[in-house]
Chains A and B, each alone.
Chain A
Amino acid sequence: MTRLSIQLSALLLGLSFAVSAAANSPTIRLFPTTVVEDLRQTGDVARDMENGLQEVIGRLDQQRELYEQSKCDGAENDPGCQRLSRQIGATYLEMLTIMEDRLPDMEHTVNNTRQSLERSLRNELGRKMSSWTLQETLIGASEQGPTADSSPALRGRSGMRLSERFRQYYQLVATSGSQSDQSLAVLASDIYLDMDETSVLIERTRQEIARATLMEQLNQSFGIITPEMMEVVGGVKTILFGDEESRALVAGPPPGSVEQAYRSPLEQ
């Protein structure tokens, strides 16, 4: 339950290193303190929401299992099954209520983080750099350039829960990104695009919750479990707790020698 908060704390620690590393050299400032603070708040709100929903979703799973074990599918008129259906419906309403309570805070902090990163990216990479200097930043200032171990792997932005993404951000910052602009530029871009996607999803979810709540309140009168309920629960579980199958794989380098010492006088 506290995994997300630990991961976010670690991420913030990593970002603090990144900020201090950036302060020691004339480097780009993609993670100013405002972004770090916004990330901390987003982490707190995400943790609260995850804690609240995990218990309710666990209860929903148990009730659903009981419903299936009691062979209630096709026996909706049975009084026992109707009682089970109402219990499931009530828990479902509870889940919607928790989401309704938590989402505005989540939306607010996610938007703040997104806007802070937006400003940083626009100023540092958009206005202060040309395409050539951006490339030089990404490739790294050193002559050797990044190795496969030290450079960040692109993860893609779908099919992975927020807390897992944060854990990966932390790992990248803690192991390599804290000392290179190259990694920070990729990291900032990745977080920003994640936040933008998350922000759109939260907005859509909030719009749907009111409608889903009304529908379930009506269904409570009849003790019906609708397929939509199960779909919504499944969707929430996927968003919050991840979808193992859709986790993006990162390709490895092609095999071959790495002994390439020659540098042409024509090389840029």
Chain B
Amino acid sequence: MRISVKTSALIAILGASLFLSACVSTEPSCMSPQTRNLDSAITAVQSNLSSGCAAHFDRYYDDLLTIAEGDPRPENKRTFSEFLVWSTDAGLLSRRQAEDYYNRFFNVKFMSMRGDYNNCSHTCPNRQRLLIEMERELSDKERGLLLVSQDSEGYYRADQLFNEVELVLEATCMACAAAR
């Protein structure tokens, strides 16, 4: 009788171990979407993101952009916007993060230009860094506006805006410095 209790305990421990190892083996693989169709890819990504792969959001977003580059259309803007709104509703992104993801790629305005303090005190001391960040963002806009959405007019405006900001900041910062 005593032996059978010990045996039962061992069986229970063995069973628990097997159960735990089974849990480890079902960890999501978080693979990139294998299809070249954007809608199907978004469905796959949404499934993965909902199954514990939220930490891979950046990579998935990049994958989706690459897939969209293969089939550029003006409607892709809406597709990405809806995907980001879904991500917000699913609690994967904050509203602000979703705005950043969208506007950095699909809007003319530069998110690098976000700032609440006046130009003389805040923008001018960091002007070079800001321009470098804007230049990086412009290449993201080239991808989002030009290569994914075929919005060449939008990309041209962003490029022009970058040049204007560079000129106006040069003059404004020189004027600010002259007062010191």
User: A: which residues have CB within 8 A of B?
Assistant: 117-119, 121-122, 125-132, 134-136, 138-139, 145-146, 148, 151-152, 154, 182, 185-186, 188-190, 192-193, 196, 253-260, 262, 264-268
Contacts and interface: CB of A to CB of B under 8 A. Distances in A.
Given A122-B172, A122-B178, A266-B98, A131 B167 contact: no
A129 B124 CA distance: 12
B177 to A, nearest CB: 9
Nearest to B95: A266
A136 B114 CA distance: 11
Given A253-B152, A260-B151, A130 B170 contact: no
Contact of B156 (A128, A152, A192, A253): A253
B7 to A, nearest CB: 62
A188 B171 CA distance: 9
Interface of B: 74-75, 77-78, 81, 84-85, 98-99, 102-103, 106-111, 113-120, 122-124, 130, 146, 149-157, 160-161, 163-165, 167-176, 178-179
Interface of B is mostly: helix
B176 A122 contact: yes
22 contacts: A118-B174, A119-B175, A121-B172, A125-B172, A130-B116, A131-B122, A135-B110, A138-B161, A145-B108, A148-B153, A148-B156, A185-B168, A253-B156, A256-B146, A256-B151, A257-B150, A258-B152, A260-B153, A260-B154, A262-B74, A264-B77, A264-B78
A265 B167 CA distance: 31
B121 to A, nearest CB: 8
B175 A126 contact: yes
